[in-house]
Amino acid sequence: MELKVKSLTLPEAIEFNFDELKTEISERTSAYIGIVYTDDQMKEAKQDVAMLRKFTKALSDERIRVKKEIMKPYDAFEAKVKELSSIVDKAIVDIDAQIKTYDAIKQDEKKANIEEMFKNMLFPEFVKIEQIWNAKWLNATFSMNNIEKELLEKKETIIKECQTLATLPSYSHEAVHFYQKTLDIAQALAKVRELTEAEEAKKRMLEEEAGRKEEEAKKKEEPQPVPEEAKAEIKEEPVIAAPAPHEESKWVAFEALLTKDQAIALKNFFDNNHITFRPMVQGARNA
């Protein structure tokens, strides 16, 4: 099949009175360039614009008419070519549908073979083929030998990365568990950093809390300063130490002029300091 087009006789240049019109138009429009209309001349200005626009429209209409005349042979040719193409397109669609069906069947067969290969390689149980799948494997140009090579490399990488995470000094269990879900060692290490930072933050918080409690306890144990007003009200009382063991006690006679309240206070003082007292003998008083 070949499209054969006869030698074309292209239309000659379209001749018209270009130079004559150009000269006339240039002369007539030069009078309008820079013209200033007064308020009384606005009606005339509108008439001039309408006249000029009418002329440009006449030019445009003639251009369109000539173009249509020239394009008639091409439009007829284009319509026939499109009709021929539509006939071919129907055959293309039918064949393409069969090719796609065939490719889909072959891809399904290849996918089944890849899954079987993956199964026979005995990957760690937590690895799913969807996690390591490469869409390019189903391309016809991607051989099974290259797929097998990639699978072996992925298996080796996963095992090594698991072993690396298992030897971490802290949160190794969490790191391995997270890696088994993502197969991304960078994310697993980031998770470890997150857990470590959270633990350190908690430790600092507990230490700060313990420090605050210790500081509060120290403040409670320290003697509180007595206000000057309270100091003025405190009456100092002599403190008589209790007699040492085997120290001889003697009776001391004295008289005191006391009120009832003062006598009670004196008695309390004696009692608090373990002083034995008794009423004074009348004879001793007169003596």
Residue 255 has pLDDT above 80, yes or no: no
- Please, what is the end-to-end C-alpha distance for the chain in angstroms? 166
Residue 275 lies in a domain: no
Phi-psi region at 246: left, alpha or beta (left = phi > 0; alpha = psi -120 to 50):
left
Mean pLDDT score, 199-226: 84
Tracing tokens 């089944």 back to the chain, one arrives at: 112
Pick from 126, 123, 122, 119: nearest CA to 176: 126
Rg of the chain over all Cα atoms, to the nearest angstrom: 58
Do 135 and 214 belong to one domain? yes
Angle at 260 between CA 255 and CA 265, to 5 degrees: 80
For residue range 9-62, what is the model confidence (pLDDT) as tens digits?
777 788 889 999 999 999 888 888 888 988 999 999 999 899 999 999 999 999
Last residue of a domain, one of 220, 239, 254: 220
Amino acid symbol at 110: K
pLDDT at residue 287, as a whole number? 44
For residue range 147-202, what is the model confidence (pLDDT) as tens digits?
999 999 999 999 999 999 999 999 999 999 999 999 999 999 999 999 999 999 99
Domain range for 151: 123-220
Phi, psi of 245 (to 5 degrees): -55, 140
Lowest mean pLDDT among 73-77, 225-229, 238-242, 251-255: 238-242
Last residue of a domain, one of 81, 108, 135: 108
Pick from 248, 252, 239: nearest CA to 278: 252
Mean pLDDT score, 207-219: 87
For residue range 104-160, what is the model confidence (pLDDT) as tens digits?
999 999 999 999 999 999 999 999 999 999 999 999 999 999 999 999 999 999 999
Do 93 and 129 belong to one domain? no
Mean pLDDT score, 192-214: 92
pLDDT at residue 34, as a whole number? 87
Phi, psi of 189 (to 5 degrees): -65, -35
Residue 284 has pLDDT above 90, yes or no: no
Residue 7 lies in a domain: no
Do 156 and 199 belong to one domain? yes
C-beta of residue 277 within 8 angstroms of C-beta of residue 269? no
What would the two tokens of residue 122 be? 């005995």
Domain count within the chain: 2
